[in-house]
Amino acid sequence: MSDERIYSVISPMAGVTDISFRTICHEMGASLTVTEMISAKAVTYKNKKTYELCRLSETEHPVSLQLFGSEPETMAEAAKILAERVPFDMLDVNMGCPMPKIVNNGEGSALMKDPLLAGRIVEALKKATDKPVTVKIRSGFDKEHINAPEIARVCSESGAEMITVHGRTREQYYEGKADWSVIEAVKRAVSVPVIGNGDVTGIDSARKMIETTGCDGIAIGRAARGNPWIFKEISVGEAYIPTVEEKKAMMIRHLNMTVEDKGEYIGVRELRKHIGWYTAGMPGSARLRVSINRAENLEEMKELIAGL
């Protein structure tokens, strides 16, 4: 294993990877940030809330917009609309979301059941944009249908320039252990870069995934919640544990950024879950979370954090 910096991606998470959190992860060392999932259909309907999800900071590049949908024509139309409005660097297709409301519409990980449609979506996007098109998949829809290598092959042959593989099935959601052997099989099946996702919690597991699977980089989702320093750890190549003072400073900065971006009412309420993640396992954190969840304004939140 070389000492070269590991390519790291902050995985898209609904309600988590907004502009503030992505900017922080980028500053900490994430090689690529990815937006929350964006509905292609909602983009074509010119939905205002959806356009809010597409806002990017000037400092977070390279950044990828993640689209979800099941109709090639709609996906292509959305890509053209977004290209005129948003200075993104890549376009990622979500073929991994396990949530019922997405899957029941034939979107997200439901596309794992239809390789031909998956390929058509990638082809349509390649014609609609000159930006790189990438794909996020799971190991399969369920344990009886582990077909990530097939889907990856179809997508790469259709023009996808990078494949991210979450080593769990849709059936697993986020439970159980990720199967890294599927990531290895995808790496063998395609010539484009492969990013491994699942159970990376720090530099040691990142190195182990790359050594085990041969993948070209790693994607981190839930392990980054409350711990953007994980990207610093992977960037510098050694374990990093932030001090309590560093955590407090980061919480206040994250709070200020979100309030500035979304207003005090929304910002304060959105940071409640983040502060829960930042303080998990710290002495007095349970009591703090009770108080934080009752806090109504910025100054109250700051006082609670400062007193931790």
Q: How far is the C-alpha of 112 from the C-alpha of 118, rounded, in Å?
A: 8
pTM of the predicted model as reported, rounded to 2 decimal places: 0.95
Average pLDDT over residues 233-248: 95
Domain spans of the chain, in order of start: 8-236, 244-306
Pairing of strands 194-197, 133-140: unpaired
Q: Does the fold of domain 244-306 match that of domain 8-236?
A: no
- Residues catalogued as catalytic: 97
Percentage of the chain with pLDDT > 90? 94
Please tell me the predicted confidence (pLDDT) of residue 284.
Answer: 84
| pLDDT band for position 37 (cuts 50, 70, 90) | very high
Of 84, 256, 95, nearest to 165 (Cα)?
Answer: 95
- Residue 75, pLDDT > 80, answer yes
Q: Tell me the CA end-to-end span of the chain in Å, nearest whole number.
A: 40
Confidence at residue 4, expressed as pLDDT on a 0 to 100 scale: 79
Distance from C-alpha of 93 to C-alpha of 118, rounded to nearest angstrom:
9
- Whether domain 8-236 has CATH 3.20.20.70: yes
Read off the DSSP letter of residue 147.
-
Instruction: Please state, rounded to an integer, the average pLDDT across all residues of the chain.
Output: 96
What the block records as the tokens of 278 is: 């930042």
Structure tokens at 287: 């009591």
Rounded mean pLDDT of 212-220? 98
The residue ranking higher by pLDDT, 19 or 281, is 19
Q: What is the mean pLDDT of residues 226-233?
A: 98
d(CA 209, CA 196): 7
Average pLDDT of 225-244?
96
Percent of the chain exceeding pLDDT 70 equals 99
Q: Is the pLDDT of residue 2 over 50?
A: no
- Can you name the residues that pair with 39 across neighbouring β-strands? 68
Residues 92-100, mean pLDDT to the nearest whole number: 97
Supply 106's token pair.
């034939």
pLDDT at 115 over 60: yes
What pLDDT does residue 82 have?
96
pLDDT band at 3 (very low <50, low <70, confident <90, very high): low
Pick among 1.10.3720.10, 1.10.1200.80, 2.60.40.10, 1.10.3210.10: CATH of 244-306: 1.10.1200.80
How confident is the model at residue 1, as a pLDDT?
38
In this structure, the number of other CB atoms found within 10 A of the CB of residue 145 comes to 15
Instruction: Give the rounded distance of the alpha carbon of 296 from its chain centre.
Output: 29
Element (H, E) at 95: strand 90-95
- Span 246-298, pLDDT tens digits: 999 999 999 999 999 999 999 999 999 999 999 998 888 888 889 999 999 99
**Predicted pLDDT of residue 283:** 86
| Alpha-carbon gap, residue 276 to 251, rounded angstroms | 10
Residue at 34: amino acid letter: V
Q: Is a pLDDT exceeding 60 seen at residue 54?
A: yes
